[in-house]
Amino acid sequence: MASSVNDITSSETKSPLTWLITGCSSGFGLQFARHALAAGHRVIATSRDPSKTPALVSEIEGAKPPGRGRWLQLDTSAADCGALIDRLETGQEEADGPHPPTAVNVLVNSAGFAITGPVEGFADQEVCDVMETNFFGPYRLMRAALPHMRRRRRGVIVNLSSGSGLEARHALGVYGASKAALDGISKTLAKEVAEFGIRVLQVYMGSFDTPMGHATKLVEQPLDPDYENSMVGKTIGVFQSGQFQALGDHKKAVRAIYDVVVGEGAGAGLGREVQMMLGKECAVRAIEVRDGLNHMLETFGEVCNGVDLD
């Protein structure tokens, strides 16, 4: 029987949760949907264009007993994407037939994409596109889900981030900025809603065996010759050559996140954690951040503490 998250620290009762998951056409979103269904939960899988993945839609919606799996259209870059949650919660979402009001217990913001290029090479629209999907979309969905979760005094929000949001990576400046923005809002939100029994979990990811690495785009502006043999050019070359090699197993990662959400297995007793890292590369990024902060404290500690008003 599936676990039910009662509060921010425990999962004492046993009943299915309803998971709303974005980006289910592939990768982490799809695996979250499969894993939650296999564990006995209810799943609302979403993607930008469900008509492109009819076999996957049939798989999720064919889960037994009938009605435990649904697949709905959701474009996280749309300004009104949060309206889907309001329609579900009030029973007004009838895209696949009439349904009673649906309480979203777990929101998983998995949808995302990346564009590579030097920071100076991005057009405004490219930056906006990345930010809309990776930051504004999750933020809108969180804003829509929170009033309902607060009313019930329970709920979990999971945001998939990246090691490049922790520490700078060549050619991934805009992608990293979008994840860093999500990081900042998530950490603040976690503090604001903890007293209402709502958990927010920010998961920093290394590279995993999903289509994302091979689907990463390149900025439209041609690369300046200065960058061709630099670390920026070499990083772009890895993505563009089709030889990108991920280190992580996304199925293992999903299981680890699931365990932390429901408080089982390796996640038992970790209900108060708001940050989680997965993948060896991400551990390297965390060490870089720690060492950088220590260096800053050692270098500027005296100056930092010497600028107060007399």
What pLDDT, on a 0 to 100 scale, did the predictor assign at position 12? Answer: 35
Name 128's Cβ contacts closer than 8 Å, sequence gap at least 6: none
Q: What is the pLDDT of residues 24-65, one digit of tens each?
A: 999 999 999 999 999 999 999 999 999 999 999 999 999 999
pLDDT averaged over the chain? 93
Which of the residues 110, 161, 162, 207 is marked catalytic?
Answer: 161
Residue with tokens 């930051």: 135
Comparing 154-168, 185-199, 231-245, the range with the smallest average pLDDT is: 231-245
Q: What is the pLDDT of residues 226-266, one digit of tens each?
A: 999 999 999 999 888 877 788 899 999 999 999 999 999 99
Strands 3-4 vs 13-14: parallel, antiparallel or unpaired? antiparallel
Does the annotation mark 4 as catalytic? no
Which of the residues 11, 77, 110, 179 is marked catalytic?
Answer: 179
Give me the residues paired with residue 158 across strands: 108, 201
Comparing 1-10, 22-31, 201-210, 212-221, the range with the smallest average pLDDT is: 1-10
Q: pTM of the predicted model, to two decimals?
A: 0.94
Give how far Cα 295 sits from Cα of 155, 289, 291, 299, Å: 38, 10, 6, 6
Residue 14 clears pLDDT 60, i.e. is over it: no
Question: 165: closest CA among 205, 131, 138, 125?
Answer: 205
What pLDDT, on a 0 to 100 scale, did the predictor assign at position 11? Answer: 40
Give the burial class of 97: count Cβ atoms within 10 A of its Cβ; 0-12 exposed, 13-18 middle, 19 or more buried.
Answer: exposed
Name 237's Cβ contacts closer than 8 Å, sequence gap at least 6: none
E-strand stretches of the chain: 3-4, 13-14, 18-21, 42-47, 69-73, 106-109, 115-116, 155-160, 198-205, 217-218, 275-278
Average pLDDT of the residues in 155-183: 96
Does the annotation mark 161 as catalytic? yes
Does the annotation mark 179 as catalytic? yes
Which of the residues 139, 162, 175, 204 is marked catalytic?
Answer: 175
Strands 198-205 vs 217-218: parallel, antiparallel or unpaired? unpaired
User: Could you tell me the pLDDT band of residue 2, with boundaries at 50, 70 and 90?
Assistant: low
